[in-house]
Amino acid sequence: MRKTRIGNFFEDFALGQELRHAPPRTVTEGDAALYLALTGSRFAQHCSVPFARANGLPRPPIEDLLAFHLVFGRSVPDVSLNAVANLGYAEGRFLDLVYPGDTLSAVSEVIGLRETSSGKAGIVWVRTRGFKEGGTPVLEYVRWVLVRKRDPETRTAVARTPALATAVDAAELAPPPGLGPVRIDPAVTGSSWFFEDYEPGERIDHVDGMGVMESEHRLATRLYQNTARVHFNDHLERQGRLGACIVYGGVVISLARALSFNGLGNLLHILAINAGTHANPCLAGDTVYAWSEVLAKAELPGREDVGALRLRLVAVKNRPAAGFPLWDRDGGYLPEVLLDFDYWGLMPRRAAAIGSGEHS
């Protein structure tokens, strides 16, 4: 009797199937520190005890994307261990903050299935929900992934592509529980730009670049307990289409978010993920640059200290982002584009500023 697991292939999924992911993961201070070391993130809310306490929190929560990756990692052995690629995200909502000491668990529901025309693989859509101990919801999101078939010669008849919202409605947005009223000293955050200073259509070159090192991207992926073979099995991937292991797309998201500090340094939290596409693969040795576009702004009822910015975060490889590279002449992604990520972020208003609050 087989005692090892080889993961689910496309044929193993069924519409409505519930997948409970093991094991739970207790978050530690070490996780938070290692995440900062691997990304270079500098957002004060996640690395300064006095700053977090000034905003009504007991201590710094872990980065929102670290919580996302830890929940994502729970799901990999059941959803994407045999993945060719993780394709996209939608309908993501961050529902509560996560602190060191919290234990995360996750469950996914299969909401869509479609075999590819080649018959060698299929796309699986799942809605994954993450919880803290006691069942408190932390986040939820939809993702879809291209999964290998066990037998390419066997065709499947099931085909359902779920209807997904193009964006999380601004009316559904809310600051994290326990946050506020927010007080922001630009001398502490390193940024003097607030909600009122950003306008739809504005583009921001985040200037800096960060190389993706072989050891670091694998360490980050192990931190999340993401075991997908495409990130680790050199023996198999050297025989694949790229001839090397690919970098987990979440590493790119986190690096781009860290780079966005230069221009969005006061952005406190990610509230929702509207859409996300891993446009092209990232390999060790690539250098990531990033730029953002302000897509929309939204008031948050009952809050005069914060508002919501809808932002498009684009990561590119091996070229500066000053020209805001995105599309080719045919309307497809340029080969240098790694990530196209649409999200809502929580930005303090100028009324929350203390100190001079003047532009620098």
Share of the chain above pLDDT 70, in %: 99
Residue ranges of alpha helices (H) inside the chain are: 29-39, 49-54, 64-79, 186-189, 214-223, 234-237, 249-259, 261-264
Give the model's pLDDT for residue 154.
82
pLDDT at 358 > cutoff 80:
no
Taking the C-alpha atoms of residue 101 and residue 28, their distance in angstroms, rounded to an integer, is 6
Give the model's pLDDT for residue 304.
95
What angle do helix axes 249-259 and 64-79 make, rounded to 10 degrees?
170
The chain-wide mean pLDDT, for the chain, equals 95
pLDDT at 62 > cutoff 80:
yes
The DSSP-derived string for 272-331 is EEEEEEE-S---TT-EEEEEEEEEEEEE-TT-SSEEEEEEEEEEEESS-STT---B-TTS
pLDDT tens readout for residues 209-268: 999 999 999 999 999 999 998 999 999 999 988 899 999 999 999 999 999 999 999 999
Instruction: List the domains of the chain with CATH numbers.
Output: 9-159 (3.10.129.10), 189-212+247-360 (3.10.129.10)
